[in-house]
Amino acid sequence: MDSKKPHLLELPTEVILRVFENLDRLRRFQPPARYPVSGPLGPSTQFADGSGNFDSLSRCCKKLRSLSLPYLFRCLNVCITEEQTAIETLRFYMGFPGVLQHVRILYFVMEIRARAALMPTLPVSFMEPSLSDLMPMIATFFKFIPYIENLHFIVRESTVGGSLRKIFQKFNVNESFFSHVRALKFSIGSEWMIDLCGTSSGLEEVENSPAISGNDYLPYSIDYVREEAASRTADGYLSRIGDCRAASMMKGIRDSTLLNPGSLQKVCIYGRFTQAGLDMFVAHVPFVTNLTIIGETMPIERAIALGRLEHLRVLNIEGELGVSRGSFQSCPVHQPYLWNFAYYIPSLQQMWYAGRFAGNIFRNIDGQTIFQDTMWIDSFKSNIVNDQMEDFDLDMEGC
């Protein structure tokens, strides 16, 4: 009897795809190749770009090449640093529309800085010649990838982002091209992208952090201003939130929540809240389960406002920037700080401080906090926290 093992190509297509799914599952814990470069609160769970097994399989024959395309080109990195090179790169990508249909994760990073002619109020014809070609090409490029699920939209300079927004409007790059986006990471000045994303699937994750925007930017100032302002923008939100960027962000979050109630579950904000501003923010994210606040040490009395988030399981307070995590001899906030948040937020299961100290919250059968078991643990020194740690994908260190 011939006991020769069957060749991969001899297997039914359904079996080959099952093999591919198992290989793909192994790639989930490989960090992405270019951006972001760090994930200090846990291993990244984003897919790596097309390399390794799928790259090798795609070179075997036409059949395996065809079957591996959705895995091989799922993740795409587009980093724009120079106009002419970017034009050639985008033109190359758009020459393979069938391949771009498989892109589900896009890292779009635009490093180009504005020069004298690039202002949001000026038409494209006022830009430098190469940039006048580049901006419409970027808008056209996004029309070739309508099935993105995870989008990193990073524009290093807000002036460039404002111009890109006008180009998107001119070339009708609307929400239909971002309707499947579930996770959006955006730079300061690109808050307008929230309005475009997740109209079909529902936006599940929103993040802005210093690693995305850069340390040159100040955090959002989220403050509810009760006095009516003479000037209104962002559908009246500027009359209630003093920071125009924060107003645009809050409007986007509100619209997304109204369109797909219950979808937004993970939020990371680089900002400082007043009590009134926090009350407004909480009202906009009623179903959030994971919340990260960067840029301030949240006063202990804010736990009462956060207690209205009935589904909040994980709270991460990064505190002020500029202090090395490794410099702490012990947790800079005391145990009652953790206990108060655990007491006022009945759904809370885990709390982080400064991206290093974690408190796993223990409760009895009545949901009351067991204070003697709930304490800060240094994740730099203990494997217990790492084993029980929630899945974070937060970028803090910059690129």
DSSP 220-242: EEE-B--SPPSS--TTTGGGTBS
**CB neighbours (10 Å) of residue 228?**
9
Smallest CA-to-CA distance from 260 within 286, 238, 235 is with 286
Kindly give the residue spans of alpha helices, DSSP state H, lying in 125-170. 129-143, 158-170
Q: Containing H/E element for 155?
A: strand 150-155
- pLDDT for 44: 35
Task: Identify whether the C-beta of residue 145 lies closer than 8 Å to the C-beta of residue 108.
Answer: no
- pLDDT for 231: 45
Give the burial class of 198: count Cβ atoms within 10 A of its Cβ; 0-12 exposed, 13-18 middle, 19 or more buried: buried
**Beta strand pairing call for 150-155 and 220-222:** unpaired
Q: Is the pTM value of this prediction over 0.75?
A: yes
Preceding peptide of 36 cis, ω within 30°: yes
> What CA–CA distance (Å, rounded) separates 135 from 227?
39
Give the burial class of 25: count Cβ atoms within 10 A of its Cβ; 0-12 exposed, 13-18 middle, 19 or more buried: exposed
Identify the residue whose tokens are 């972001």.
36
Q: Give the DSSP letter of residue 293.
A: E
> What CA–CA distance (Å, rounded) separates 173 from 252?
17
Residues in the chain: 399
Q: What angle do CA 20, 24, 25 make, to 5 degrees?
A: 120
SS3 57: helix
Identify the residue whose tokens are 């009945």.
346
**Beta strand pairing call for 357-360 and 350-353:** antiparallel
Q: What angle do CA 269, 273, 279 make, to 5 degrees?
A: 100
SS3 2: coil
Q: What is the block-wise mean pLDDT of the chain (399 residues), using blocks of 10 residues?
A: 60 72 60 34 37 65 72 84 87 88 90 56 46 86 93 86 89 92 90 91 87 68 59 53 78 88 90 87 92 88 94 89 71 88 94 88 90 87 53 39
> What CA–CA distance (Å, rounded) separates 172 from 199?
16
Which two three-digit tokens encode residue 53?
């097994």
> What CA–CA distance (Å, rounded) separates 344 from 303?
6
- pLDDT for 394: 44
- pLDDT for 331: 79
- pLDDT for 27: 57
Task: Identify whether the C-beta of residue 241 lies closer than 8 Å to the C-beta of residue 250.
Answer: yes
SS3 316: strand
> What CA–CA distance (Å, rounded) separates 270 from 309?
19
First and final CA of the chain: distance in angstroms?
59
